[in-house]
Amino acid sequence: MFRVSSRFITAEVSRLLLLVILSLALSGALLVGYAGCGTENTTVEIAQGSVKGTVSDADLYIFKGIPYAEPPVGDLRFMPPQPPQPWEGTLEADEFGPIAMQVGGEGEFTDAPMSEDCLTLNVWTPGLDGASRPVMVWIHGGGWIGGSSRDPWYDGASFAERGDLVLVTINYRLGAFGWSYLGDAENGEFSESGNLGLLDQVAALEWVRDNIDAFGGDPDNVTIFGESAGSMSVCSLLGMPAAKGLFERAIAESGALNTIRSTEYAAGITAELMDKAGMTDVDGLQSLSADELLAAQEDLMEDAFMSDTLFGPVIDGAVLPEPPLHAIAKGSAAGIPLLTGTNLDEVRLWSQFIPGLLDYPIEVDLKAMPWLAEALPGPLDDVVASYESRRPGATDGDIAMAIGTDVIFRMPQIRLVEAQSANQPDTWMYLFTWPSHVGDLGACHAIELPFVFNNLGAQGVSDLLGEDPPQDLAELMQDTWIAFARSGDPNNDSIPEWPAYETESRATMELNVSPAMIEDPYGEDRMVWDGIPFDSVVPSL
C-alpha cells in the first residue's frame, strides 16, 4: 500500500505524498486502511484509556466488556453508579463481562460468570473511522430479575453490518441489587436505590454520549430500544428527567408502564427481603456477600405467584418524580419519535413454564393477574362474554390468554402510544403476528427478537420459533428497525406505506411475512377497557 517507485517521484512530490499520508493518519482513516497489510488497528482511545477490540470475519470491530461505571460493590451497593476510573495500559475488550447477579444464571444460554461487578457494555461497529454512524443501544429484558447483554440472541453483528450503524448492548443491575427501595432509611443516603437499574442505563447512555464517536458512532443520533422489562425501561426513560437529551429516538417492544411500583409496595417487598436475609437495616444488607443476598432474593421469589412483579422501577419522587406515563402525557418526550407495539399472543409464552395453563378454567388462568379484579370495567363474566362473542369455538384457555395479553401488554402499550402521539406526531404502532411452529405458542412474548436481530440461527431460537423460520421476515423486521433508527420513520421498501399513529384511525402495521396496514386491530376488545388508565399504580391498575 502506498508503494511507488522512487524513479518516478521527485523530492517535492515525495514531500507532498508524506503530508497526505500523515494527514490521513491523523484523521483516523488509516485505522482501517492498513488492514490489507496485516497491521489492522483495533485500539481506540476513550476517556478512561486505551481499549483493544477484535475484528470479525465480516470485518466488524467488536468490543466486549467495557466498564461504563465503577463496580457497584462494597459501600457502592445500593448506590447510584459512579463514573469509571481510568486504567493503566490497554484494556483487552475481547470477552463479555460478568452477567448481573440473578437466580439461576442465564439458564441454557451460557455458563457465564456472575458478579456484582457487572456494569459493562459491548460495541459492534463497521469502522473506527469517524463516520458518525447512527447508534442503537439495546436494553435487555428479563422481568427485572434476569438476562444480560451477552445473550447470543442479542449479537449485534447483523445490525452493524446490514445497517452500517453502531450497535451497543448493556448490562444493568437486577433484582435485589438494582431495585431494592431503601428510601426510608435514615439520612436519605439511599433515596435512589429503588431505581438503580434505570440509573445504570442512564450511566451507560452517558458513556455512549462521551465515547461513541471513537467507535465510528454519532453521539447525537442515538436510538434506545428494548423488549419486555427492557421495553419498560425504555418507556421509563422517556419520562425520566435524568435521561433527557441522551437519546433521539426510542423503540419499545412488548412492555409499557403498567408494572412500575409505588413506594409503599416497593418498601413492602424490601421488608420481606430483609426478613428472608435475617437483617433489619441497610447496613445488614450491605454486610451480606453477593451470594447471600441473592439467596434471600431467591427465597422471596419462591413465595411469590409471579416473581416478575417483585422488582422494577419505583415512583420514588426523585429518579421518577411521577408515573412516567403521566410525564409522557405532559410532553416529557415530545421531541422523541417512538416506535412501539406488541405480539398477538404475548402471554402464551408462559404456557411453556406453567404446565396445563391453556387447559385451566379461566378463573384459574386469571389468577396470574391478581390486579385484574380492580382493573375490570365490570364483572369478569361480562368481560369474558364480550371476548367470547368475537371468538367462536375458543377454549377457556384461549380467552384467558387473549384477555391476559391485552391487560398485561397490549392495552398498556396503547395507552403509551396515545400519550406520546398527542405530543409527537412521529409515533408508530405495530402488531407482530407470525406464529411459532412450536405447540400452541402463537405469536408469543419475545418471538420477534430473533427476527429483529436477524439471528435466526442463535442458540435456543429453534426452541421458541421451531425449524426453518422465514429469513425474509427477519430482513423485513431489521430493515424496519434500521430505517427508524436512521430517520425516526420506519417506512422502507420492505413494508406497505405506514402512517403515523393517531387516535382517529389507530393505524397499526401488522408485521408478518406479508405485512399489512390495518386500522384499530381488535378494536372491540380495546373498547372493553375504555377508562382504565394502565398507568403504573401497582398492584392495582
Q: What is the pLDDT of residues 19-34, one digit of tens each?
A: 332 333 333 333 333 2
Q: Say if residue 35's pLDDT is above 90.
A: no
Q: Which CATH number fits domain 347-541: 3.40.50.1820, 3.20.20.70, 3.40.50.2300, 3.30.565.10?
A: 3.40.50.1820
pLDDT of amino acid 369: 66
Q: At what angle do helices 396-405 and 380-389 cross, to 10 degrees?
A: 100
pLDDT digits (tens, 9 = 90+) for 521-535: 999 999 999 988 888
pLDDT of amino acid 368: 64
pTM above 0.85?
yes
Looking at the chain, the domain(s) classified CATH 3.40.50.1820 span: 47-336, 347-541
Contacts of 196 (CB under 8 A, 6+ apart): 72, 78, 79, 80, 81, 173, 177, 178, 179
pLDDT of amino acid 433: 98
What residue type is assigned to position 298 of the chain? E
Helix (H), strand (E) at residue 223: strand 217-227
Lowest mean pLDDT, pick from 26-30, 137-141, 248-252, 326-330: 26-30
Q: How many CB atoms lie within 10 A of CB 494?
A: 16
Q: Say if residue 207's pLDDT is above 90.
A: yes
Cell numbers of 35, please? Answer: 488492514
Q: Is 228 a catalytic residue?
A: yes
Cell numbers of 54, please? Answer: 477484535
Q: Is 445 a catalytic residue?
A: yes
Is-contact 365 397, C-beta < 8 A? yes
- Confidence band (pLDDT; 50, 70, 90) for 370? low
Q: Say if residue 107's pLDDT is above 70.
A: no
What's the helix, strand, coil split of the chain in %, to 5? 40, 15, 45
Q: How many CB atoms lie within 10 A of CB 493?
A: 7
pLDDT of amino acid 10: 33
Q: Which CATH number fits domain 47-336: 2.30.40.10, 3.40.50.1820, 2.60.40.10, 3.30.300.20?
A: 3.40.50.1820
Q: Is 40 a catalytic residue?
A: no
User: What is the chain's mean pLDDT, rounded?
Assistant: 89
Q: Is 297 helix (H, G, I), strand (E, B) or coil?
A: helix
Q: Say if residue 36's pLDDT is above 60.
A: no
Q: At what angle do helices 196-211 and 229-238 cross, to 10 degrees?
A: 70
Lowest mean pLDDT, pick from 140-154, 186-200, 374-388: 374-388
pLDDT of amino acid 104: 86
Given the residues 351, 436, 445, 448, select the one marked as catalytic.
445
- Confidence band (pLDDT; 50, 70, 90) for 154? very high
Contacts of 98 (CB under 8 A, 6+ apart): 112, 113, 114, 115, 117, 118, 120
**In 306-463, beta strands by DSSP E:** 338-343, 427-432
Q: Tell me phi and psi for residue 314, to 5 degrees.
A: -125, 135
Q: How many CB atoms lie within 10 A of CB 518?
A: 16
- Confidence band (pLDDT; 50, 70, 90) for 156? very high
Q: Say if residue 400's pLDDT is above 60.
A: yes
Computed from CA positions of residues 103, 413, 247, 491, in that sequence, does the dihedral angle turn out positive or negative?
positive
Give the mean pLDDT of 40-46. Answer: 92
- What SS3 string covers 270-288? HHHHHHHHCCCCHHHHHHC
Cell numbers of 524, please? Answer: 372491540
Give the mean pLDDT of 449-460. Answer: 97
pLDDT digits (tens, 9 = 90+) for 261-275: 999 999 999 999 999
Is-contact 443 432, C-beta < 8 A? yes
Is-contact 491 483, C-beta < 8 A? yes
Give the mean pLDDT of 153-174. Answer: 98
Give the mean pLDDT of 96-117. Answer: 85
Given the residues 180, 228, 231, 262, select the one marked as catalytic.
228
Given the residues 106, 116, 227, 346, select the one marked as catalytic.
346
